[in-house]
Amino acid sequence: MAPGQFDWFLKIGATPEAVAVLNDQPILFTILLIALVAIILECTLLWYIHHATLKPEQMKKKTDKKEGPGQEIGAAQPSMLLLLSALDGIVARRDLDFSQPSEPFEHSSGDASQLHAMAIAF
């Protein structure tokens, strides 16, 4: 087999038959490269069209990175804090005695409606 310009493909795992075809018809490799470049350009164009046609309300708002009152790193949203405090209050009202075998959990309608209202507010 005479050395050809695509023999380096053997080093990356191509079969000798594939290398022979590429050495015989190098236009196939050129077509492959052109097709890959065309697909990349098409994806870039589609991304640009998507980005350019976003409605203002669909775009992400730019936020200031300044830390002010209530904007500490890791600060929870007020509605989340309200939900957590409601859950804490519900759990605190239960008499939890882990020394005795537990009975099936039953909720009262007041607790469930409070949780539902908190979840909707969140």
Residue 82 and residue 119 share a domain: yes
pTM: 0.44
Q: Which range of residues forms the domain containing residue 48? A: 7-56
Cβ atoms of 29 and 9 within 8 Å: the answer is: no
Express each pLDDT in 1-11 by its tens digit. 557 899 999 99
Residue 122 and residue 81 share a domain: yes
Express each pLDDT in 20-62 by its tens digit. 999 999 999 999 999 999 999 999 999 999 999 988 888 877 7
Residue 46 and residue 12 share a domain: yes
For residue 105, being part of any structural domain is answered with no
For residue 12, being part of any structural domain is answered with yes
For residue 70, being part of any structural domain is answered with no
Q: How far is CA 44 from CA 50, 69, 80, 111, in A?
A: 10, 41, 39, 53
For residue 48, being part of any structural domain is answered with yes
For residue 64, being part of any structural domain is answered with no
Residue 78 and residue 70: Cα distance in Å, rounded?
10
| Total tally of structural domains belonging to the chain | 2
Residue 112 and residue 120: Cα distance in Å, rounded?
12
